[in-house]
Amino acid sequence: VGSELKEAAALAYEEATQKLDKLDFNAYINAVMRLVGRANKYIDETEPWVLAKDPQQRDRLATVMYNLAECIRIAVIMLSPTMPNLPQRVNEQIRFCEDPSVLTWDDAGQWGLIPPGSPVVKGPALFPRIDLTKEETTVTEPSNSEQKAVEEKDFITIEDFARMDLRVAEVIACEKMPKADKLLVLKLRVGDSERTVVSGIAQHYKPEDLIGKKVVLVANLKPTKLRGTLSEGMILAASDDERVEVLMVHSEIEPGKRVK
């Protein structure tokens, strides 16, 4: 059973990698959740609560719990592109490494990285179960003020917009992400600093076509790791069903200047 769990983890990593490279986020999440489902089935198959009652089964129990911890570690890493804070939160309860910020996507493709004997700390539920009976509310016709609030929900204030830090950035280097059909890794000059940004535009731009161009960077977007590369922002682009066009600044405005 343990070997089947390892195979399921390897398959989930391979499929999630392929789907994420193609920016097929729904299929990527489904691949991860299939591993979680297989781990749940493993619990039913091994019955660790029964093993815990038998002193002669302590070694078997330790193996079962380790295998489950490894599945959690692998799933957490694979979910980190969409839930950047998850590795830190889980690591506070299952200590699978000293510093979760150094984890890479490739770590999810390896089995057995949790040091044996790592501490486990009981904490609050990471994903509390929703009690639907408590969430149910009586549906009534909205009042005029409520209707107005709904209609205005899509608007943002000038203060909301001001929180976005948009900067002119010059592309000083660009290359394709290895083993990723849709991803480019751009090195940007933003004033006196440099940023690395991963962008899913490889099927619309060649790396050499972007070098020297000035783009618009969302500079205060929270950094996240994609395929092991830390992406420190996002470049703006417009798209339709067939094309993606990066927004560019065609002027002498210096990199680092704010767009507002």
Q: Residue 220 maps to which CATH number?
A: 2.40.50.140
pLDDT reported for residue 16: 94
Read off the pLDDT band of 47 (50, 70, 90). very high
Beta bridge partners of 217: 167, 235
Residue 188 CA from chain centroid, whole number:
22
Dihedral pair phi/psi, residue 160, rounded to 5°: -60, -45
Q: How far is CA 54 from CA 2, 50, 62, 69, in A?
A: 20, 7, 12, 21
Number of domains in the chain: 2
pLDDT reported for residue 6: 94
Q: Does residue 100 surpass a pLDDT of 60?
A: yes
Rounded CA separation 222/251 (Å): 28
In a domain, 121, yes or no: no
Rounded CA separation 179/227 (Å): 10
Same domain (yes/no): 196, 98: no
Tell how many helices (H) and how many strands (E) occur in the chain.
Answer: 9, 10
pLDDT reported for residue 24: 87
In a domain, 135, yes or no: no
Q: Does residue 132 surpass a pLDDT of 70?
A: no
**Residue 73: domain span:** 2-109
Q: What does the pLDDT average to over 139-149?
A: 56
In a domain, 196, yes or no: yes
Give which of 178, 260, 166, 180 is closest to 215, Cα–Cα: 166
Q: What does the pLDDT average to over 49-63?
A: 94
pLDDT reported for residue 129: 76
Q: Which three-class secondary structure state does DSSP give residue 255? A: coil
pLDDT reported for residue 127: 78
Q: At what angle do helices 25-46 and 58-79 cross, to 10 degrees?
A: 170
- Per residue in 151-181, pLDDT tens? 556 777 888 788 889 999 999 999 999 888 8
In a domain, 246, yes or no: yes
Q: Give the predicted TM-score (pTM) of the model.
A: 0.55
Of 33-42, 126-135, 183-192, 218-227, least confident by mean pLDDT is 126-135
For residue 171, what is the enclosing H or E element? strand 166-176
Q: What is the CA radius of gyration of the chain?
A: 23
Read off the pLDDT band of 144 (50, 70, 90). low
Q: Residue 25 maps to which CATH number?
A: 1.10.730.10
Same domain (yes/no): 23, 104: yes
Q: Does residue 138 surpass a pLDDT of 60?
A: no
- Per residue in 198-256, pLDDT tens? 998 998 999 999 999 999 999 998 888 888 889 999 999 988 877 889 999 988 889 99
In a domain, 175, yes or no: yes
In a domain, 169, yes or no: yes
Read off the pLDDT band of 109 (50, 70, 90). very high
